[in-house]
Structure 1
Amino acid sequence: LDTSNKNLDISNQKLDTSNISLLRINGDLNNFVFSASHDLNAPILNIESLLGLLNSKLDIKDAEVIKLFGLMNKAVTNFKSTISDLAKVGAIESEDPDEHNENFVTIFEEIKLALSEKIKLSKTIFHTNFRKKEVRFAKKNLRSVMLNLITNAIKFSAPHRIPEITIKTELKDGLILLTVKDNGLGISKDQIENVFKKYQRVNETVEGTGIGLYLTQKIVNAAGGKIEVACNEGKGCTFKIYFLA
């Protein structure tokens, strides 16, 4: 018995050492991602400036050249978005969030204002029922979660119908539940498992970096919550986010 206990103690010590090592490696990787995303900003901004300068200096009339310039500018824009998303991921992994009681309605109104042009162009209709008004959460993180879900709902709207987004909050089983439901394109059953994976795009016909929902899940999980999704292809998706009450 003594020998077994000693062996168990040794195994536990090795496990603790391995966990500490993994935490250190994970921290180093997060710091690298955060630093690299910032270091890449300067060169991509230089490329963007040079493209703009070149475009202004040249009298471009050739349709093929104009098309190439458009593709280059689009590539730069996409790369900037990816860098920005990487910086957000690195920040979430390493930061100690400043949590306060935040109001869902206030955050929603701020997002509507920020997306006013997209909402107007898409003719998006909102249905809201904020039965639970507040949650203890970092404001910028709550805004990021709601913004990602609402932006996705508009982006992946079905072309043959007006986008409708239903947002509601309630207290359920001792947790605060935020539900965001849309009537958009939905996601196929074989793609549903990829929804929260980094750089995975479940619909190749719509532009994106494939990191928004990964980022959303990271934020929610880091705060002790969880996120679920249910989709019907061609009918829309329902996202449920559970926050600690």
Structure 2
Amino acid sequence: MAEAPKMNGKLEKLIKLNDELENYFNNTIIPQLFVDADMILRKFTPAAMKHFKLSQSDVGKHIDEVSNSIRFPTIIENITEVIENRKDLEKEIQTTDKMWYQMNILPYIIKKENRANGVIITFIDINDRIQILKGYEKLHRDYENIIHSISHDIKGPLSNIEGLIRILKEAPKSEEDNKLIIDMLSQSVGNLRKTVNELADIDNDTAFAREPERVNFENVIEDAKLALRDKIEETSAQINTQIEETGVNFSRKNVRSIVYNLLSNAIKYSKPDSKPEIDIRTEKSGDAILLTVSDKGMGIAEDKVASVFDRYSRMHGEVEGTGVGLFIVKSMVESMSGKIEVESKEGKGSTFKVYFNS
């Protein structure tokens, strides 16, 4: 009879510990699961119930039966690893519903038996942190694009200015002609300033959520033609446009740079001793808006088509260029979840297709 109080005391202590554990699980705001060594879900916090749409009927089920609710495909393998090694596991995971968590799996160790009797899994929402990191990665890519674009896209306007200055230096012109040239020179300087300002406009980029604006294709095409006026006149390029979709929600500076680069390349890679003939078209393609720029120029060799968007890739060594234009275009398109494709045949011409998400 003397031992009974001791047993009652141990039982009371066990009940108290169980109540404390139950109280903790019921009040914590952190999603947590308790899974035993047989992979049976024994307990979960209300936060886990909310995040993973669990119900009390899931208690007692094999974790495999509820893993679809948790939406993390390797959770069983991870639990097994922790139970076998008796070491904590920490990793960043993305569930199938695209949410990011820091997952910590801790072994529940029975000290007397020196074995793991299950695991406690904690999920910490790090979605905002991941999005910020992705924002900084995008910002880094944008800065890289800006540096390349500034050096690449200002060549056309600079060429216009150089050409007009050369005309002014030649034989004396009438006052009316000089005024016309000066007006054109002033317009070219204004376009150059506008281009540089657009490319260097990074004030709001650190927000990582810059709203796209409605960009009018005809306006952007005219801007590109104006920037390339010197090359267009020099080659007598014929540029045909068919605008079925008038605009797109996108970064204006990026659309301008995309059109400028594709048009510039179409002129640059025309066949020797022939006038460039270029077709620019916009249309609806499924859920996307499609911009197509086609030419009848030199085309691209079959073995080089796959690398056409690589940085510093040169399709024709005899044509002046840095090999970054199409790399910039691809980066800009993909930064807004679009895509770009090319169809080309050497000696027949090329067609570039840019798909903007509408």
Give the TM-score of the pair, scaled to structure 2.
0.47
**Take 1:172 and 1:6, find their aligned partners in 2: how far apart are those partners?**
43
Match of 1:190 among 292, 296, 303: 303
Q: CA deviation at 1:238?
A: 0.1
Larger C-alpha radius of gyration, 1 or 2?
2
**Take 1:12 and 1:163, find their aligned partners in 2: how far apart are those partners?**
59
**Take 1:146 and 1:29, find their aligned partners in 2: how far apart are those partners?**
22
- 1:5 alignment counterpart: 76
String of CA shifts for 1:167-217, please: whole Å, max 9, x gaps: 000111121000000011100010001101111112111111111101100
Q: CA deviation at 1:6?
A: 7.0
String of CA shifts for 1:37-91, please: whole Å, max 9, x gaps: 69xx9xxxxxxxxxxxxxxxxxxxxxxxxxxxxxxxxxxxxxxxxxxxxxx7xx7
Percent of aligned pairs sharing the same letter: 38
| 1:108 is aligned to 2:221 | yes
- 1:138 alignment counterpart: 251
More helix by share: 1
Cα pair distance change 1:11/1:127, threshold 3 Å: farther
What letter is aligned with 1:149? L
Cα pair distance change 1:237/1:5, threshold 3 Å: same
Cα pair distance change 1:171/1:190, threshold 3 Å: same
What letter is aligned with 1:5? I
Q: CA deviation at 1:130?
A: 0.3
Cα pair distance change 1:224/1:11, threshold 3 Å: farther
Q: CA deviation at 1:29?
A: 10
| 1:155 is aligned to 2:287 | no
| 1:230 is aligned to 2:343 | yes
Q: CA deviation at 1:97?
A: 4.4
Which structure has more RCO (C-alpha within 8 Å, separation ≥ 6)?
1
Unaligned runs of 5+ in 2: 1-38, 41-62, 64-74, 83-87, 94-100, 103-128, 152-198
What letter is aligned with 1:30? H
Q: CA deviation at 1:5?
A: 3.0
Cα pair distance change 1:201/1:11, threshold 3 Å: farther
5-14 or 93-102, which deviates more? 5-14
